[in-house]
Structure 1
Amino acid sequence: MASPGGTSSGSSLLHNLGSHEDLQALMEQKKRKRMISNRESARRSRMRKQKQVSDLITELSQLKKENSQLIMLLSITTQRCAAMKAENSILMAQAMELSYALESFNETAHSMRGSNLRSNMSMWDGPQLTDSFMSPWNLRHINQPIMASAEDILYY
């Protein structure tokens, strides 16, 4: 146990001091490892964040491109729709005009048939008169202009 010269207590004190220094060095080494690990983790985190930003920028670019294509398609479709509305308006006016012409033709033909039965058959030249009435384009009231708004005309 204790030696008469006190060497054993001095040796245990040196042993304790060595142990404390070793513990200090071990703690310092763990601290460095943790610091290196934290730096590496921060570096990986920065790289992930940079990749996410890069991916978002790429996605933004693709979405902007797709958006501009959709806007162009919408514009073309809107123009076509307006053109179809204008064409439809003109066709409806022409159909109405033809309907009025047909009605007028039918009324005229009916009145001519009625007066024809009452009049003298020798005075009426049937084939020539009938031919002029069979062509609705010969009627004067048909030659009326087709009305369309200025907005409809701009699309043609």
Structure 2
Amino acid sequence: MESNRDSARRSRMRKRQHLDDLLNDVTLLKNENSRIEMQMNMYTQDYVAMNSKNTIMRSEVMELIDRLKYLNSVLHFVEEFSGMAMDIPEIPDPLLKPWQHFCLSHPIIADANMLQ
């Protein structure tokens, strides 16, 4: 009987230790989950900010291309009516297609809502 009591006590202690270990693991995993979630939120905010800046820069590029086209047309007009040959540079092809990057790279396809 005494041996059974000791065995039962050891079994309860092992179960309690196992439960404490599991609770400790849960706490650690919850902390890690919170850290990862905060990091994801930070990355999402960075992505949204960068995407906003890229949108602004794309619209600025389009505006500058329009200005360059207008100035080139003025130069062509002056060249035609003055008879003077002018060195009018052509608009580089990458500027005409701002959505195509000069370097070969894979686009990042992401959305701020996909992480929520």
Q: Normalising to structure 1: TM-score of the pair?
A: 0.52
Code of the residue aligned with 2:73 in structure 1: it is E
- The equivalent residue for 1:48 is 14
| Correspondence 1:1-156 to 2 at 5 A | 35-117=1-83
Code of the residue aligned with 2:14 in structure 1: it is R
- The equivalent residue for 1:153 is none
Q: Provide the C-alpha distance between the structure 2 equivalents of 1:38 and 1:100, rounded to a whole number of angstroms.
A: 91
Offset, 1:36:
1.2
Q: Equivalent residue of 2:83, what SS?
A: helix
Could you list the structure 1 runs, at least 4 aligned residues long, displaced by more than 3 angstroms after superposition: none
Q: How many residues align?
A: 84
Q: Normalising to structure 2: TM-score of the pair?
A: 0.70
Offset, 1:52:
0.5
Q: Provide the C-alpha distance between the structure 2 equivalents of 1:83 and 1:109, rounded to a whole number of angstroms.
A: 39
Identical columns (%): 39
Q: Provide the C-alpha distance between the structure 2 equivalents of 1:78 and 1:117, rounded to a whole number of angstroms.
A: 57
Q: Provide the C-alpha distance between the structure 2 equivalents of 1:105 and 1:111, rounded to a whole number of angstroms.
A: 10
Code of the residue aligned with 1:102 in structure 2: it is L
Which structure has the bigger radius of gyration? 1
- The equivalent residue for 2:95 is none
Greater helix proportion: 1
